[in-house]
Amino acid sequence: MKKILILILIILSQKFYAQEKQLNTAPKVDKRVELLSIVFRLAGNEEYNSTKFKIYTDRIESHFNPYKNHEAIEFAKELKKKKGILYNAVVDLAVILDDKLNPLIDFSTTLPDLRWSKDDAIKFISLLKRFYKDAECDKFFRGNEELFQDISNRFGLVYKTLDLNWFQSFYGKKADENFNIIISPGCGDQNYGPSYMLPNGKKEVFAIMGTWKFDESGMPVYKQSEYLPTIIHEFNHQFVNPLLAKYKDSFEESGKGIFTAVEYEMSRQQAYGDWQIMINEALVRAAAIKYFIDHGAAGSEIQMMMNNESNIGFIWIKGLVEELVKYGNQRTTYPTLESYMPVLSDSYKTFAEKVSQFDAQKPKVTSISEFTNNARDVSPRVKTITINFDRPLAGKGFSVYYGNKGKLAFPQLDSIYYTNENKSVVMEVQLIPDKEYQFVLVGKNFKSTQGIGLRTYEVYFKTAKNQNR
């Protein structure tokens, strides 16, 4: 019995050691990420200007408001406007800095993000160091150490449930990467997955987790059901992105075919601007579902996950998950996911064919009678917007939604009705001069006579300044 107990302890210690090798430290708040989020908050980046964590953001405003016109902030504004330094481009730079804000990589060979140039990165880091000193950032971070520790403790319950060994097992490759989980109150409700390669060939991989839910006291709440899938999602990217980049050519034709059918859902609703990003996201999401299958999630939970992905445009996700299950059942033949890529590529040809066939059955908008979509000089005297379809619709309802510009861009709608034997819909509107308008037609109620929903169509236009035009 004693020998058996010792053997069990050895096995458990080896498993623990394997996980610890892959995750450098327990999740914590990272001052580099917070510093960059504060700088771009002051620069006006919307994604870094959440006020939900009032306890923390009030402290930021109180401490840093006097430095809003600092040269570092002004340059950050310029980078935002001219170079598109937004969202992940901000934290991508943060993680490649050491504690003294010196870069860990050579900008002559590698950049944190394609939006950064070598000169911009070097100049910004120089100004960042000056800002750190001038704005007494060290004092701010010392004053918030207790808050940061409380945040780390609260996140601990999610971290303890993560099975890092699964990634090496599923992808079939040795996990040379160092995994790092960063909790960021400054990133608001955004999550990011940056990575970089050290000179010694070691890859540093990060899951930066935002903070978006709070208890009655105003402190963060990290629910396992919300954060664990996101961590798994972000870590999957580090395996999937380079793998699909390597096999890009074999997925290009089918990827472009699918992207054509779901372009609005991908590019407008989720900022996935091309077929390759879409393919990466699809495999990442399918792999995340496979993680939960392998960890005993109920069938109803798996179905709900697939439904959620399908509803936001990944309508082939069920077939993709099924392929990953097949891969998992044939590991002797396919020891790594890379060895399964030719099979996956062939499956994508089938997915693309089915998606294209389904898309061909969808009614589509052919024109707008009063003006061309995306026009920027529409007369404000226009009283109707007539949407024309390529076939008669069932005529049993309407589904016109706000676009990403929100309620303010939606025209004042007096009435809406079908005409032209249900091949057109007329919207009676009241427009005002020099204003952007946007709305989206979706297939919820706009359906063919066979009950198939309309391909999503966004209408955007701007009225002319002259009232009499």
pTM of the model: 0.74
Q: Residue 23 above 70 pLDDT? A: no
pLDDT of residue 182: 95
Is residue 208 very low, low, confident or very high in pLDDT (cuts 50, 70, 90)? very high
Q: What is the mean pLDDT of the chain?
A: 91
Q: Residue 223 above 70 pLDDT? A: yes
Classify residue 382 by burial, with Cβ atoms within 10 Å: 0-12, 13-18, 19+.
Answer: middle
pLDDT, average across residues 177-193: 90
Is residue 469 very low, low, confident or very high in pLDDT (cuts 50, 70, 90)? low
Q: Residue 276 above 50 pLDDT? A: yes
Q: Which of 120-129, 271-280, 285-294 has the weakest average pLDDT?
A: 271-280
pLDDT of residue 357: 93
The residue among 205, 165, 203 whose CA lies nearest residue 182 is 205
Q: Residue 17 above 60 pLDDT? A: no
Q: Residue 3 above 70 pLDDT? A: no
pLDDT of residue 238: 79
The length of the chain is: 469
With b for 16 or more beta-carbon neighbours within 10 A and e for fewer, the 321-341 pattern comes to bebbeebbeeeeebeebbebb
Q: Which of 128-132, 233-237, 349-353, 400-404 has the weakest average pLDDT?
A: 233-237
Is residue 400 very low, low, confident or very high in pLDDT (cuts 50, 70, 90)? very high
Top pLDDT among 325 and 268 is at: 325
**Are 194 and 173 a contacting pair, CB within 8 Å?**
no
The residue among 423, 283, 422 whose CA lies nearest residue 366 is 423
pLDDT of residue 160: 86
Which residues lie across from 436 on neighbouring strands? 462
pLDDT of residue 101: 97
- Mind listing the pLDDT tens digit for each residue in 290-342? 999 999 999 999 999 999 999 899 999 999 999 999 999 999 999 999 999 99
Q: Residue 11 above 80 pLDDT? A: no
How large is the C-alpha radius of gyration of the chain?
26
pLDDT of residue 21: 41
Q: Residue 15 above 50 pLDDT? A: no
pLDDT of residue 468: 64
**Are 275 and 258 a contacting pair, CB within 8 Å?**
yes
Query: Which two structure tokens, joined as six digits, stand for 434?
Result: 């020099």
pLDDT of residue 193: 83
pLDDT of residue 16: 36
pLDDT of residue 325: 98
pLDDT of residue 269: 80
- The domain over range 365-462 is classified in CATH as 2.60.40.1220: yes
pLDDT of residue 401: 95
The residue among 453, 433, 435 whose CA lies nearest residue 443 is 453
Domain segments of the chain as ranges: 21-209, 247-360, 365-462
Q: Residue 81 above 60 pLDDT? A: yes
